[in-house]
Amino acid sequence: MRLGSFFLTFWLAPDFVQAASSVDWIWSAKYVVTMDAASRMFKNGAVAIRGERIVEVGPRAAIERKYKASRRLDRPESVLLPGLIDAHTHAPMALFRGLADDRRLQDWLENFIFPAEAKNVTPDFVRWGTLLACYEMLLHGTTTYADMYYFEETVAAATKQAGMRAVLGQTIIGFPAPDAKTPQEALLRAEKLLERYRGDPLIVPAVAPHAIYTTPDHVLKAARALANKYGAPMLIHLSETKRENDDALQKRRLTPTALLDSLGALTGRTLAAHAVWLEDSDLEILRSRATGLAHCPSSNAKLASGVARVPAILKAGIAMGLGTDGFAGSNNDANLFEEMDLAAKLQKVHLLDPEALPAKTVLEMATRTGARALGLENETGSLEAGKRADLIILSLQSSRAVPLYHLISQIVYSLKGGDVTDVMVNGQLVVQSQKVLTLDRAQIFAKAREYRDRIVRSLGLSPSPIE
């Protein structure tokens, strides 16, 4: 027994082994914020990476002793963090960025978004919109996102080209859509996506019925059944507006959450976006079903949807991440630093309580809690041995980092998406010194401008951005 213990210790503690173990990368920084369960942080820390995964995280000196790296990135004036997780997007809508702001939801949807989508959304549109969104997400430190749109197989291909991780849901909706004339056709598209990306290291394919008010009950049930057949997540919009809740209560005598539950639609992994108008009984349902949620503060504020009950939701043990939503009126950019800052401020002023949602909690929402909401808690969301190597470097060289009293506060309330310099996803370096290595910026911007002119013409709008 004693001998066995000795050998076990020997093999588990490579400190005592003289030959250093070889790894593909060592990343080091002035501070390493792991966002692990113990909230460990290291001054002069480092991360060792082999292949797609993290091998070890710790003080730089210890990592250097144990590992020999083929490549390295040392940022002595920066913070190393897990990549951020955007829990709700419609990436291709990047091409509609700012198309129609400051408008009532019905005006916005009926006079701008629906006609713009009907006239313009094709696989090519989806491809270039997704590439633009991925370009911007990566530069702002987002490494994983959860998306709901049309032609989602094209979103998947573009996401893989960018080198990002994503949960990608093919939209199922109760009326003719750009990629499917009927919900049945959309379900077939979804199944193809589930088959095609099963087991992919970056893409988790999913089924995305739009919402209870756009998708009939039997389609919601079919979407759930399809997701469960493949062990895939279901993505949906839930209780975004008061009207959605009022209508459900009036017509169905159930809250949207209770309605979904009564249909059996929450019996499996689910990620529901917005969740603004939840009742206490809804919290109990969502907790018992282990449903993940996405809080979208910019979108909920800008579209005047309301303020989600984030502290109560988190207190109930429900995993709620942060989402940016679409660029077309709801946000208008893909920047989780802005969502963290806004999430914290919005709760404080809404509840008139400055302690309502502290910096550490919103950083958790953008990382480990977001990963849990997406069902990826074993893969990403923190810097821990065995997890996928999804890392970002945040510069401390701007005035925004000076002076520095509390690192987590500074990250949430003062540093910006623009302070991100380097990004790794799944062990691949994808952003270096603020340059996206996987994407052709000039080509993406040119295509986006072409689409802008085409969209403006299709809607009969003024071609000038200053009229």
Phi and psi at 429, nearest 5°, equal -70, 115
Cα separation, 11 vs 7, in Å, equals 6
Helix-strand-coil split of the chain, %, nearest 5: 40, 25, 35
Judged by phi (left if over 0) then psi (alpha if -120 to 50, else beta), residue 264 lies in: left
Of the chain, the end-to-end C-alpha distance in Å amounts to: 82
When the beta carbons of 301 and 316 are compared against its own copies, the nearer one is: 301
Q: Taking Cα atoms as reference points, which of 211, 116, 77, 111 lies closest to residue 453?
A: 116
When the beta carbons of 7 and 405 are compared against its own copies, the nearer one is: 405
When the beta carbons of 101 and 279 are compared against its own copies, the nearer one is: 101
Residue with tokens 């702002």: 140
Cβ 208 to its own copies shortest distance, Å: 25
Q: Taking Cα atoms as reference points, which of 270, 246, 247 lies closest to residue 260?
A: 270
Cα separation, 316 vs 232, in Å, equals 25
When the beta carbons of 5 and 399 are compared against its own copies, the nearer one is: 399
Cβ 280 to its own copies shortest distance, Å: 22
When the beta carbons of 314 and 376 are compared against its own copies, the nearer one is: 314
Cα separation, 176 vs 182, in Å, equals 6
Query: Biggest alpha carbon distance in the chain?
Result: 82
Residue with tokens 């910096």: 359
Where are the alpha helices (H) located in 263-365, listed in sequence order? Answer: 280-288, 297-302, 310-315, 336-351, 359-365
- Polymer length of the chain: 467
When the beta carbons of 71 and 441 are compared against its own copies, the nearer one is: 441
Burial of 251 (0-12, 13-18, 19+ CB in 10 A): exposed
Cα separation, 35 vs 364, in Å, equals 7
Cβ 338 to its own copies shortest distance, Å: 8
Cβ 441 to its own copies shortest distance, Å: 8
SS3 state of residue 301:
helix
Q: Taking Cα atoms as reference points, which of 417, 235, 409, 393 lies closest to residue 339?
A: 417
∠ at Cα 267 (315, 317), nearest 5°?
10
| Residue 74, CB-side half-sphere exposure with 13 Å CA sphere | 7
| Pair of tokens at residue 163 | 């080198």
Cβ 303 to its own copies shortest distance, Å: 6
